[in-house]
């Protein structure tokens, strides 16, 4: 069985002081990730250093940013480089989240450039894909996700692809309380795995962790994570509370212990 990655996307929440307080509480709940599970929390840029420092004593906890720029430096007001992110102690970065695609003009092309930059800097990219509700209603969700994947991974070698994480986040399920059913998640994840097999072969495809995101919480995580091709979650709202994040991590540990 593939190991799990349980990731939290804090979006524009949690300043540095709140971040330190979160990890104080979390440390009391989880001092080390369960066997077969890695944990990742992605705060805002200004909380990255606090998060990296405050989580250093928690075994299996990684810190990630929510975006980066694909250039190494220059006149890009308001942007931040891969090296700056690494300097904070973070080792992952979310790329192409649907909120960035919707509100900040993120395109498949910039996702591709950012993914390459993260890889060359030694950051693990968490590449996000997912369809809008209208696209699912029209029955074109597989096509949409395939296009985002293929364009996002263009020119990325098999060796590098193995170092990435992909998150499937149906836009209609993000922050809405509406979750994809376990069957819908598994169906799309199996499709994505098959597309990775077509692109890179089965050896690589089986190694890429596929996370589900969209209203995952302590009440539905067990069922979602039990699906064969769901290797973890990218969790927004429910990751802001140490106890609900801890519960989801716990479910992943139990599933791994049962099947691993
Ligand atoms: P949500 O967000 O869990 O609050 O739906 C998930 C995400 O956007 O990554």
pLDDT tens for each residue of 12-38 = 999 999 999 999 999 999 999 999 999
Domain that holds residue 76: 4-259
Share the mean pLDDT of the chain.
97
Residues 6+ apart with CB under 8 A from 44: 10, 11, 12, 13, 14, 15, 66
pLDDT band of 260, cuts 50, 70, 90: confident
Q: Give yes or no for residue 234 CB within 6 A of ligand 1.
A: yes
CATH of the domain at 80: 3.20.20.70
Q: Is the pLDDT of residue 79 over 90?
A: yes
How far CA 128 is from CA of 22, 76, 96, 166, 188, in Å, comes to 25, 23, 5, 6, 13
Q: Give yes or no for residue 152 CB within 6 A of ligand 1.
A: no
Q: Give yes or no for residue 214 CB within 6 A of ligand 1.
A: yes
Q: Is the pLDDT of residue 11 over 80?
A: yes
Q: Which residue bears the tokens 């927004």?
A: 236
| Cα-Cα-Cα-Cα dihedral sign, residues 3, 199, 185, 39 | positive
Given this model, what pLDDT does residue 140 score? 98
pLDDT band of 127, cuts 50, 70, 90: very high
Counted domains in the chain: 1
pLDDT band of 102, cuts 50, 70, 90: very high
Q: Give yes or no for residue 236 CB within 6 A of ligand 1.
A: yes
Q: Is the pLDDT of residue 204 over 80?
A: yes
What is the 73 CA–ligand 1 centroid distance (Å)? 30
* Structure tokens given for 119: 């890889």
How far CA 209 is from CA of 66, 83, 189, 204, 229, in Å, comes to 18, 24, 10, 10, 9
* Residue 127 bridge partners (DSSP): 95, 166
Q: Is the pLDDT of residue 130 over 80?
A: yes
Q: Which residue bears the tokens 């996702």?
A: 111
pLDDT band of 151, cuts 50, 70, 90: very high
Q: Give yes or no for residue 169 CB within 6 A of ligand 1.
A: yes
Pocket probe for ligand 1: among 171, 214, 216, 244, the residue whose CB has the most ligand atoms within 8 Å is: 214
Provide the percentage of residues in the chain whose pLDDT is more than 70.
100
Given this model, what pLDDT does residue 1 score? 85
Residue 129 backbone dihedrals phi, psi, to 5 degrees: -135, 160
Given this model, what pLDDT does residue 107 score? 98
What is the 74 CA–ligand 1 centroid distance (Å)? 32
What is the 13 CA–ligand 1 centroid distance (Å)? 13
Q: Is the pLDDT of residue 49 over 80?
A: yes
What is the 94 CA–ligand 1 centroid distance (Å)? 12
- Around Cβ 192, how many Cβ atoms within 10 Å? 21
Q: Is the pLDDT of residue 178 over 90?
A: no
Pocket probe for ligand 1: among 6, 8, 9, 132, the residue whose CB has the most ligand atoms within 8 Å is: 9
What is the 138 CA–ligand 1 centroid distance (Å)? 23
Segment 215-238 shows an average pLDDT of: 97
Q: Give yes or no for residue 170 CB within 6 A of ligand 1.
A: no
pLDDT band of 175, cuts 50, 70, 90: confident
- 216 Cα nearest atom in ligand 1: 3
Segment 185-193 shows an average pLDDT of: 98
Q: Give yes or no for residue 41 CB within 6 A of ligand 1.
A: no
pLDDT band of 177, cuts 50, 70, 90: confident
Active site residues: 97, 169
Given this model, what pLDDT does residue 46 score? 98
3-state secondary structure of 212: strand
Q: Give yes or no for residue 102 CB within 6 A of ligand 1.
A: no
Segment 75-101 shows an average pLDDT of: 98
Q: Of 222, 214, 207, 257, which is closest to residue 238 (Cα–Cα)? A: 214
Taking the C-alpha atoms of residue 124 and residue 9, their distance in angstroms, rounded to an integer, is: 15
Among protein residues, the one with the nearest Cα to ligand 1's atom 7 is 236
């Amino acid at each position: 069985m593939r190991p799990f990655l349980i990731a939290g996307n804090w979006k524009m929440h949690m300043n540095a002081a709140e971040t330190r307080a979160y990890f104080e509480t979390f440390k009391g709940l989880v001092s080390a990730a369960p066997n077969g599970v890695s944990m990742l929390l992605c705060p805002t840029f200004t909380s990255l250093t606090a998060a990296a420092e405050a989580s250093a004593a928690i075994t299996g906890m990684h810190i990630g940013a929510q975006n980066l720029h694909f250039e190494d430096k220059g006149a890009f007001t308001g942007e931040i480089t891969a090296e700056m992110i690494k300097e904070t102690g973070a080792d992952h970065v979310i790329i192409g989240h649907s909120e960035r695609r919707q509100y900040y003009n993120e395109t498949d092309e910039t996702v591709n450039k950012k993914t390459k930059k993260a890889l060359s800097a030694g950051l693990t990219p968490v590449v996000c894909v997912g369809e809008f509700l209208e696209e699912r209603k029209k029955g074109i969700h597989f096509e949409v996700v395939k296009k985002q994947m293929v364009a996002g991974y263009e020119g990325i070698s098999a060796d590098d692809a193995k170092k990435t994480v992909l998150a499937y986040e149906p836009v209609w399920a993000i922050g809405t309380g509406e979750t994809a059913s376990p069957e819908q998640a598994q169906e799309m994840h199996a499709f994505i795995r098959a597309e990775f097999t077509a692109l890179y072969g089965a050896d690589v495809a089986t190694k890429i962790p596929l996370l589900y995101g969209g209203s995952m919480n302590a009440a539905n995580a067990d069922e979602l994570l039990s699906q064969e091709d769901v290797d973890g979650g990218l969790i927004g709202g429910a990751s802001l509370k140490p106890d609900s994040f801890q519960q989801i991590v716990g479910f992943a540990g139990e599933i791994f212990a049962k099947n691993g």
